[in-house]
């Protein structure tokens, strides 16, 4: 079951009702052009069985992302457009050992070096991002990585493509 919520629906009382009604809830999508406050993000912890979170059209902050990273069974995270996430916020994703899929939109200076420590990530997608490191060779350090998408990256060079071509475990690359 997938549940789409607005940030103002993330209070503890609502969480209790939703857990009772949707006992098998595993996916939450939070969407609305608003700021997901730190307090609202913290209430996501009431959904401790959730494995997929999609945050779309939200000006979420690094502090809100920290709360999302505390979900114990988080497998898939999408950080949509209009975020206010910094490179430091993205670095905090390292604490999510269970993460298998990560999609990031519109983050400047993504610290690739911090993202290559995920032992289980098999899918990474970047849309309209820039990167701190210029070598894509470091994606080879993700032993489970099979699918990689780097869309609307303005600095793509022949060297980037050559680096990606050397990563044997990739089944799919979308540039």
| 3-state SS string for 72-122 | CCCCEEEECCCCCCCHHHHHHHHHCCCCCEEEEECCCCECHHHHCCCCCCC
pLDDT at 2: 62
The residues pairing with 124 across neighbouring beta strands, listed in sequence order, are: 102, 148
Two tokens, residue 59 = 């000006």
The H helix count followed by the E strand count for the chain is: 6, 8
Nearest CA to 65 among 50, 75, 79? Answer: 79
pLDDT at 149: 96
Two tokens, residue 151 = 């869309």
pLDDT at 103: 93
Q: What's the first-to-final CA gap in the chain, in angstroms?
A: 32
pLDDT at 31: 64
Global pTM reads 0.83
d(CA 30, CA 10) in angstroms, rounded, equals: 9
d(CA 63, CA 88) in angstroms, rounded, equals: 10
Taking only the tens of pLDDT, the chain with its 175 residues reads: 566 666 666 667 776 777 777 767 677 776 655 566 777 777 777 777 888 888 776 777 788 888 888 888 899 998 876 667 777 888 888 888 899 999 998 888 888 888 887 889 999 999 998 888 767 888 988 889 999 999 999 888 898 899 899 899 999 999 9
d(CA 13, CA 54) in angstroms, rounded, equals: 21
Q: Are 122 and 98 in contact (CB under 8 A)?
A: no
């Amino acid at each position: 079951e997938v549940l789409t919520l607005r940030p103002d629906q993330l209070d503890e009382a609502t969480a209790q009702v939703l857990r009772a009604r949707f006992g098998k809830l595993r996916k939450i999508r939070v969407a609305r052009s608003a700021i997901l406050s730190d307090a609202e993000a913290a209430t996501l912890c009431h959904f401790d069985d959730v494995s997929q979170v999609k945050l779309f059209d939200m000006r979420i902050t690094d502090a809100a992302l920290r709360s999302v990273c505390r979900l114990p069974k988080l497998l898939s995270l999408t950080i949509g457009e209009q975020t206010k996430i910094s490179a430091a916020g993205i670095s905090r994703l390292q604490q999510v050992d269970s993460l298998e899929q990560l999609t990031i939109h519109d983050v400047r200076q993504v610290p690739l070096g911090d993202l290559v420590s995920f032992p289980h990530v098999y899918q990474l997608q970047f849309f309209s991002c820039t990167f701190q490191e210029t070598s894509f060779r470091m994606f080879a350090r993700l032993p489970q990585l099979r699918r990689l998408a780097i869309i609307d990256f303005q600095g793509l060079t022949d060297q980037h493509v050559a680096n990606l071509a050397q990563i044997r475990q990739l089944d799919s690359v979308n540039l």
